[in-house]
Chains A and B, each alone.
Chain A
């Protein structure tokens, strides 16, 4: 309990004194996470809509695979991306190993399945009567899509929140692809991991609290948008 209180105290101190390293780490965390969420949204929502609205052979299998990928361990994604991005790997020429771009690549791959799957769930939960109504009113392809997304906006927003949460909280991919390089690829989660392994529990706790506070603020904002 004492450690917890000291941790909270350290957290406030770090924020109050605007500790430059903590600020650097926090901004980088947000940059990388927001980037992966943005890219994932651009891929996952159209993909989810496409899978949801079309009938094709293997549709059930495809959805099953996507849902299985929810449980993809972050270290496995880290390993796969490592093999892809390494200079000796197929995407080596990009030079993304040990850079924030590589971390964005990894996190995007990590959260696309979950965002896609939850988008599909969201769209399939729409009352089929509504779908029929929209269709019978002569909606164009675009209007069809737009109205369905609007109808399921609550659940789709939830999908985005879940994707964001998974991205900001993961360590495996960030550490394997990023290398936890101070000032360049260190983010909140990898910093916590490092400080804990060095025995600096107060600092770890403080960083953890900062991470949770950020996640809370973002979620409050997204919830606000969701509820309008």
Chain B
């Protein structure tokens, strides 16, 4: 019979082995912030569409590096950048980006793509927003929502690029966001786009979504697009590398390579076609060639990062 202490020792040894396994896995899995790992702080839309999976796979075969990312809202990604916890950010909120760069945290912003926001909601459309423009639609939700309990709007509520655009739209309509926020029909989710869409589906509610995440989720949802074409719905994606002066350990070499990778004609082409095979339309639109349309300079889409 195996004695109790023998079993105790065996357990201890097994535990130690697993522990060593964990340590060596963590180490060979690549030391943090060495030339071997590039950590991207990015938005949920780039993650949900699996575009990042595709691009990082390509980048990794061409460069000796392990690309990882944390998909959170734009606000949180920029915060990670400020704290030096990521090497580079990929976000979509021009105002926040400007503040970030002016604060000295980021360098070399390059625009690599764009998509659109859209207002989705239940087929029944109790607030009757279908066919209206963005501002009118938001106004309708507020007006009709005041009396109709079935009108619900789910907000990202997480300082993401989408959330920022939503707040801007309320502002454009002359609303005070603080007042909107406490309206009975307003639900602040504090979640990523996918989760917010899932919530909106459950509540049969309206929500502002980016077209790419919507494209990834729509076949599983009963929600329908209700308001789509509006100038205020243009959504531009940028990549910004973290300033090595504020963050000593940032992987600058790989960050620069990633930026040049994103604006390269080859990757722009991938972005232009990603999703066509699967869905019929591309998830994103390339920035290259569309500078005038989206209101950025040629430098921002083509200037190589050195």
Q: Which residues of A contact B (CB under 8 A)?
A: 28, 30-32, 34-35, 37-39, 86-89, 92, 95-101, 104, 179-181, 183-184, 197-199, 224-225, 228
Report the nearest A residue to B220, measured CB to CB. Answer: A199
B86 nearest CB across to chain A (Å): 8
**Cβ-defined partner of A38 (8 Å) among B15, B29, B82, B198:** B15
Query: Which one of A30, A32, A199, A224 has the highest number of Cβ atoms from chain B below 10 Å of its Cβ?
Result: A199
B16 nearest CB across to chain A (Å): 7
A83 nearest CB across to chain B (Å): 10
Task: Check B18 against A34 for contact (C-beta < 8 Å).
Answer: yes
Task: Check B201 against A199 for contact (C-beta < 8 Å).
Answer: yes
Task: Check B29 against A184 for contact (C-beta < 8 Å).
Answer: yes
Q: Which A residues touch B18, using CB under 8 A?
A: 30-31, 34-35, 38
Docked Cα-Cα span, A228 to B16, in Å, equals: 22
Residue pairs across A and B with Cβ atoms less than 8 A apart, 8 shown, are A31-B21, A34-B15, A38-B15, A89-B83, A197-B198, A198-B195, A224-B7, A225-B7
Task: Check A32 against B32 for contact (C-beta < 8 Å).
Answer: no
Docked Cα-Cα span, A179 to B72, in Å, equals: 9
Q: Which B residues touch A183, using CB under 8 A?
A: 68
Task: Check B68 against A88 for contact (C-beta < 8 Å).
Answer: no
Q: Is B249 an interface residue (CB 8 A)?
A: yes
Task: Check B32 against A35 for contact (C-beta < 8 Å).
Answer: no
Docked Cα-Cα span, A199 to B194, in Å, equals: 9
Docked Cα-Cα span, A177 to B26, in Å, equals: 14
**Cβ-defined partner of B25 (8 Å) among A31, A89, A95, A197:** A31
Task: Check B85 against A87 for contact (C-beta < 8 Å).
Answer: yes
Q: Is B191 an interface residue (CB 8 A)?
A: yes
Report the nearest A residue to B14, measured CB to CB. Answer: A34
Q: Which B residues touch A86, using CB under 8 A?
A: 83-85
6 new A-B contacts at CB < 8 Å, known A87-B247, A184-B68, A199-B198: A31-B21, A38-B19, A86-B84, A95-B31, A97-B85, A198-B198
Q: Which A residues touch B8, using CB under 8 A?
A: 225
Task: Check B220 against A87 for contact (C-beta < 8 Å).
Answer: no
Q: Which A residues touch B85, using CB under 8 A?
A: 86-88, 97-98
Report the nearest A residue to B248, measured CB to CB. Answer: A87
Q: Which B residues touch A199, using CB under 8 A?
A: 194, 198, 201, 217, 220
A98/B249 contact (C-beta < 8 A), A31-B18, A34-B22, A86-B83 known: no
A98/B68 contact (C-beta < 8 A), A92-B84, A228-B4 known: yes
In chain B, positions 182-201 with a C-beta closer than 8 Å to chain A are: 191-192, 194-195, 198, 201
B10 nearest CB across to chain A (Å): 9
Q: Which B residues touch A34, using CB under 8 A?
A: 15, 18-19, 22
Task: Check B25 against A100 for contact (C-beta < 8 Å).
Answer: yes
Q: Is B224 an interface residue (CB 8 A)?
A: no
Query: Which one of A30, A89, A104, A179 has the highest number of Cβ atoms from chain B below 10 Å of its Cβ?
Result: A179
**Cβ-defined partner of A181 (8 Å) among B33, B48, B70, B249:** B70
Docked Cα-Cα span, A32 to B29, in Å, equals: 14
Produce 1/0 per residue, B93-114, CB < 8 A to A.
0000000000000000000000
A157 nearest CB across to chain B (Å): 10
A147 nearest CB across to chain B (Å): 14
Task: Check B83 against A87 for contact (C-beta < 8 Å).
Answer: yes
